[in-house]
Amino acid sequence: MSQFPRGGRGTYPYNDGSNLVAELFVNADESGMHAKPTWVLVYGYIAGPETWDAFGQDWNGILADPEYAIEVFHAIDFFQGRKPFREWKAEKRNQFLGHLVEAINRHKLYPVGRGISYEAFMAQPTWFRRYLTGGRLRSEGIFVYTGAPNDAYHVALQELMTDALARADEHAMVHFIMGQQDRVEGYAVGHLNRIRTIMEAEGDSRARQLGSIAYSTGTITKGLQAAALWNYLCQSKLMRGSLTGRAEWALKALAEQVDHDVKLWDRGTFATAYDEVLRRLPAGALERLEKENS
């Protein structure tokens, strides 16, 4: 487990009487954390610790190959032709990217997470945004927890966790390794705790499977480099509408391996979720919500 940072494996002992003896780790990358972004993204890969260790060895071997000889792979530097890739010829770049994609696919890392359209999120009614960001409703339309109606990041992080839990066996504990960002580290931990509390209050047994969030760098945790590659490709497709060249090839090769496309919340997704919540509201609750959250 040498590639995981100290403290990244959550709370022990493993078995606290709940039979949670297996572990999975999500290496995830975030973007869109600035004010009024176009998209808020939290994408990553999930796998067991043995898989991550084996993957890390392969990834290190590619980077250390004398043909390439780089310390750490930054997707944005690679695709924008910055150092140390600036002088590489097209054939070398394609070959190198091919090796990275093959390593991800060979170890069957599975992508998790969603992109959230900030514009579509902010277009929703205030009460619905509160609901989506942790606000828990009583049947008569009163909030028990207030939520965070201007915080699309909560939705993105929650979707990452939901995706991860869907991939996990019911007895597995899931931990999250995120890239170091001083501005949001405590923020994400707070979100994890709120999401767990809400799940527990709603009687969702999966709450016990949510482990911890730890922070690391791509230099230490190789899975973060793979997560950043997937996040960059997803972000680029969402921002531009389509990709070309080696970026298009890489996204297609990674997505086809696991029958997975770029997942997102846009206006259509929000509309579907809104209709589902409306169907569960009792008579008079919507009027009260709209009045008190105008």
pLDDT of 5-49, one tens digit each? 433 333 323 333 343 347 889 998 888 767 778 999 999 999 999
3 state SS of 51: helix
pLDDT at residue 1, rounded to an integer = 38
Specify the pairing of strand 210-216 against strand 39-47.
unpaired
Decide: 10 and 208 in contact? Cβ < 8 Å: no
pLDDT digits (tens, 9 = 90+) for 139-155: 666 776 678 898 898 89
Describe the strand order of the beta sheet including 39-47 as a list of residue ranges: 210-216, 172-179, 22-31, 39-47, 110-117, 264-265
Task: Using pLDDT thresholds of 50, 70 and 90, give the confidence band for residue 93.
Answer: very high
Range 22-120+152-259 classified under CATH 3.30.420: yes
Residues linked to residue 179 through DSSP beta bridges, in sequence order: 216
Residue of 114, 117, 98, 94 lying closest to 106 (CA atoms): 98
- Asked if residues 222 and 60 have their Cβ atoms less than 8 Å apart, the reply is yes
What's the CA gap between 174 and 211, in Å, rounded? 5
Indicate the average pLDDT of the chain.
Answer: 85
162-201 pLDDT per residue, tens: 999 999 988 899 999 988 765 566 677 888 888 888 888 8
**Would you tell me how many other CB atoms lie within 10 Å of the CB of residue 245?**
11
d(CA 172, CA 167): 10
Q: What is the pLDDT of residue 18?
A: 40
Mean pLDDT (whole number) for 123-140: 84
CA distance 85 to 105: 23
Strand ranges, E, within the chain: 22-31, 39-47, 110-117, 172-179, 210-216, 264-265
- Residue owning tokens 């069957």: 108
pTM of the model: 0.86
